[in-house]
Amino acid sequence: MRQMDNIFSELELDALKEFINISFGRAAGELSEIMNLHVMLNVPDVAILQAGEVGSFIGGDIKDRNDYSIVEQFFIGNFKGVTFLVLPYNEGKRLMNIFSDYDDSIIESYGLDVLQQETLIEIGNIIIGACVGSFAELLKGSVSYFPPKLFKSDLRSFVPEKIISGDEGSENQLLISFKTIFKFEDNDVTGYLFLVAHSDALGWIRKSIRDFLDDYS
């Protein structure tokens, strides 16, 4: 893992952390309003990683790494990368009960597993969109999203190789990563959100921060 101050100056790093705190704070407010449920987001951790370190970064804080549902969503634009929403696999039914009002006939028609998957994808889409969108907007950038995908994984073997695509990809490529824990208050549901920006976005983030600092210098 690279030291942040090797990439950003001290002033740039302070500004970056403040942008992240503000954007994720805004996202928490938007999520609470959309979901009609208080959502808490921890202050994000920020790291500069080599691509080969992403798997350990994502799994580092999670003690029990078996049977997790992961919502994966790629985004492009000035801000480019991928996000992973990680939830214990057995939380799907609990979240479905919180956010959905399916009657027995719908459950019987579509099946419990299918409805749980749809609920997780929808929740992931909302959370990811709010966090990524708030950060990009704060830095005056634009972002578009690919449809989210859901899969189940043992985090001990989870290596998000698809973060880097094409010939340019390598384990030594530098990425900027954000990690936060979210919780739905009063419902005892906790998950993890990992945002990994592509190396192409690293230069844009730094330039946007410099432009902001120049405007107020």
Q: What is the pLDDT of residue 143?
A: 93
Residue whose entry in the numeric block shows the structure tokens 């609990």:
94
- The lowest-confidence range among 108-117, 128-137, 140-149 is 108-117
pLDDT attached to residue 182: 75
* pLDDT value, residue 8: 80
Q: At what angle do helices 10-35 and 199-215 cross, to 10 degrees?
A: 100
Backbone angles phi, psi at 11, to 5 degrees: -65, -40
State the number of CA atoms in the 13 A half-sphere of 176 facing the CB: 22
Instruction: Give the bridge partners for 157, in sequence order.
Output: none
- The CATH code of the domain that includes 14 is 3.40.1550.10
pLDDT reported for residue 166: 37
Which pLDDT belongs to residue 144? Answer: 94
Q: Which domain holds residue 9?
A: 4-215
How many domains is the chain partitioned into structurally? 1
Compute the mean pLDDT over every residue in the chain, rounded to the nearest whole number. Answer: 74
pLDDT 10s digits, 29-60: 887 787 777 777 777 777 777 766 766 666 66
Residue of 95 and 202 predicted with greater confidence = 202
203 has pLDDT over 70: yes
Residues 133-145, mean pLDDT to the nearest whole number: 89
To the question of pTM greater than 0.95 for the whole model, the response is no
| For residues 89-110, average pLDDT | 63
Say how far apart CA 94 and CA 33 lie, in whole Å: 20
